[in-house]
Amino acid sequence: AQTVTQSQPEMSVQEAETVTLSCTYDTSENNYYLFWYKQPPSRQMILVIRQEAYKQQNATENRFSVNFQKAAKSFSLKISDSQLGDTAMYFCAFMKPFINNDMRFGAGTRLTVKP
Amino acid sequence: DTGVSQDPRHKITKRGQNVTFRCDPISEHNRLYWYRQTLGQGPEFLTYFQNEAQLEKSRLLSDRFSAERPKGSFSTLEIQRTEQGDSAMYLCASSVAGASTSYEQYFGPGTRLTVT
């Protein structure tokens, strides 16, 4: 079974600085998707960034980028120029498509951006 | 497009009672998912529908849990004979099958269930 591990329960960063959140996963599959979701306090979960396993190029979305290391089964999220609105729980997720489409989530990292 | 909506947002019930939650997906989305999220954890997949067909239900937590999507639009999740361990946030998500981004799921705000 696929498992997703986020080893940093909490992190903090100063506004405008850069922070990296870690995620590792375990799978024997070759084709899968990885995601980072953001869940702000008392608000709904939103997709931050996605990565298809067959793509070697790391995904980027504005201030958010990933470091995808397929052999190491690692998928970290880098947030540049951190903003107060980035304060949230961040979840790493794995999905094996075309089977049952269920996503496996990590336990999350609580990120606090300090002014 | 108003996004995924869920009703109610909060539900307090006594142990042993039945509860039903509703999810309205984004209008053009034909896939709908239910998750449970307990405090301090990531969401846990429960079940999913494509149109009105429930294609995966083996991950429902027990036979007290059931879900329907009778017309392929909104869905309901029912928990019978609630237990205190059922207290959690229940999340709904939707996506579009067949699109290049069909793996992107959009989440609703959730229904927080408290069983006393």
Beta strand B31-37 with A3-5 is unpaired
Mind telling me how many Å the CA of B86 is from chain A's nearest CA? Answer: 18
3-state secondary structure B46-110: EEEEECCEEEECCCCCCCCEEEECCCCCCEEEEECCCCHHHCEEEEEEEECCCCCCCCCCEECCC
Residue of chain B whose Cα is closest to the Cα of A92: B42
Q: Which of B31, B56, B107 sits opposite A45 (nearest CB)?
A: B107
What letter does residue A97 receive in the DSSP assignment?
T
In degrees to the nearest 10, what's the CA dihedral of B37, B92, B8, A89?
A: 40
**What are the backbone dihedrals phi and psi of residue B53, each rounded to the nearest 5 degrees, phi first?**
-85, 130
Give residue A5's pLDDT: 96
Distance CA A101, CA B45 (A): 9
- pLDDT of B111 > 70? The answer is yes
Q: Which of B41, B48, B103 sits opposite A107 (nearest CB)?
A: B41
User: What average pLDDT score do residues B82-109 get?
Assistant: 87
Q: How confident is the model at residue B99 (pLDDT cuts 50, 70, 90)?
A: low
A62 to A65, A80, B103: CA distances (angstroms): 8, 9, 21
In a structure prediction context, what are the per-residue pLDDT tens digits for chain A, which is 115 residues long?
678 999 999 999 999 999 999 999 999 888 899 999 999 987 889 999 999 998 889 999 999 999 999 999 999 999 999 999 999 999 999 998 766 677 899 999 999 999 9
User: What average pLDDT score do residues B101-116 get?
Assistant: 89
Distance CA B114, CA A14 (A): 36
Contacts of B31 in chain A (CB under 8 A): 101
Distance CA B20, CA B1 (A): 25
* For testing contact with chain A, the best of B105, B106, B107 (most A CBs within 10 A): B105
